[in-house]
């Protein structure tokens, strides 16, 4: 009765690996896009800093003649960037912290019931 049926064996790991292949490709594409976005943003920041330094070249020259140190000049040029970075880091930290606390306060029973 069962002699005409063929037996196929499949390892569960291979089955799971095949199921998540699309997610791995999506993850790889998102990682590549993230790296490209970071490179573009770094290049933009570098271009902006070069532009600011070129624009303030005379001011830097006068300050050096008067006796300003290199550290003082770097501090003067990077002061505005550091303020913006602190503000953006604080906003990002608050957002992540808020969502993390919200997720930690959830009832695990409700989370496990969800499908």
Residues 28-77 pLDDT 10s: 999 999 999 999 999 998 998 899 989 999 999 999 999 999 999 999 98
For the chain, the 3-state helix, strand and coil shares in percent, each to the nearest 5, are: 85, 0, 15
On average, the pLDDT of the chain sits at 89
Output the pTM of the full model: 0.60
70-105 and 57-66 helices, crossing angle to 10°: 120
């Amino acid at each position: 009765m069962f002699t005409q049926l063929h037996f196929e064996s499949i390892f569960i790991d291979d089955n799971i690996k095949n199921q998540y292949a699309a997610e791995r490709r999506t993850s790889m594409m998102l990682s590549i896009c993230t790296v490209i976005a970071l490179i573009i943003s770094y290049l933009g920041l570098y271009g902006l800093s070069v532009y600011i330094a070129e624009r303030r070249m005379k001011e830097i020259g006068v300050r050096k003649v008067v006796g300003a140190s290199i550290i003082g000049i770097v501090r003067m040029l990077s002061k505005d960037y550091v303020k913006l970075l602190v503000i953006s880091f604080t906003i990002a930290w608050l957002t992540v912290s808020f969502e993390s606390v919200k997720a930690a306060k959830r009832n695990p029973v409700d989370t496990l019931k969800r499908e």
